[in-house]
Amino acid sequence: MKQYRLTKEGYNMLIRELQDLVKNKRKEVAERLKDAKNYGGDLSENSEYEFAKNEQAFVEGRIEQINEILANHEIVENKGHTSRVKIGSTVVLKDLDLGKQKKYMVVSSIESDPEKNKISDESPIGKSLLEKKVGDEVLAKTPQEKKRFKILEIK
């Protein structure tokens, strides 16, 4: 059975999402399904009914997925451990090719959100950072290119 590593923030995010899906989304989709069914006619030609059925399958699948993660999770916290990069670490890097500084938080793939600078520990950059320390230079092989970074700070 797979063990899922989550930060406390990621765990809380999943709890909120699950509550929303169960209390709100499930009911909304059921209502839309009922309305589309009551519209009448041949259900195989009712696009609203098909859309609502697909959305219901997605909602139920996501609920099942979150329950699986929550049943098999481990909370990882990196409070006070700043000697090496771990899940939960915030890392300030210098892009050695561009000369720019970048700041990332290394999280599990479940919590990854590149727009918020949260990178997965399974991504090329995240993988290359794990267990490294301040001053280390790392090479991340992305599908498009090789990126070189120097670790300036670990929080």
User: Token pair of 27, please?
Assistant: 């009911």
- pLDDT for the residue numbered 79: 66
Q: How far apart are CA 95 and CA 78, in angstroms?
A: 24
Q: Using an 8 Å Cβ cutoff, are 85 and 154 in contact?
A: yes
- pLDDT for the residue numbered 52: 92
In CATH terms, the fold of domain 90-154 is Chitinase A; domain 3 (3.10.50)
Q: Is the pLDDT reported for residue 15 higher than 70?
A: yes
* Cα 46 from chain centre: 34
Whole-model pTM: value is 0.82
Q: Using an 8 Å Cβ cutoff, are 154 and 93 in contact?
A: no
* Residues paired with residue 102 on neighbouring β-strands, in sequence order: 93
Tokens 């009911």 belong to 27
CATH 1.10.287.180 fits 4-75, yes or no: yes
- pLDDT for the residue numbered 48: 87
User: Token pair of 76, please?
Assistant: 């990882």
Q: How far apart are CA 54 and CA 48, in angstroms?
A: 10
Neighbours of 94 (CB within 10 A): 17
Kindly give, in sequence order, each residue whose CB lies less than 8 Å from that of residue 28, ignoring residues fewer than 6 positions away. Answer: none
Q: Is the pLDDT reported for residue 42 higher than 90?
A: no
Q: How far apart are CA 104 and CA 85, in angstroms?
A: 11
- pLDDT for the residue numbered 39: 75
List the single range of 41-45, 86-90, 97-101 with lowest mean pLDDT: 41-45
**CA nearest 93: which of 38, 136, 39?**
136
CATH 1.10.287.180 placement within the chain: 4-75
CATH 3.10.50.30 placement within the chain: 90-154
- At 41, the pLDDT band (50, 70, 90 cuts) reads low
Kindly give, in sequence order, each residue whose CB lies less than 8 Å from that of residue 133, ignoring residues fewer than 6 positions away. Answer: 83, 84, 85, 151, 154
- pLDDT for the residue numbered 81: 67
pLDDT in tens, 118-139: 999 999 999 999 999 999 999 9
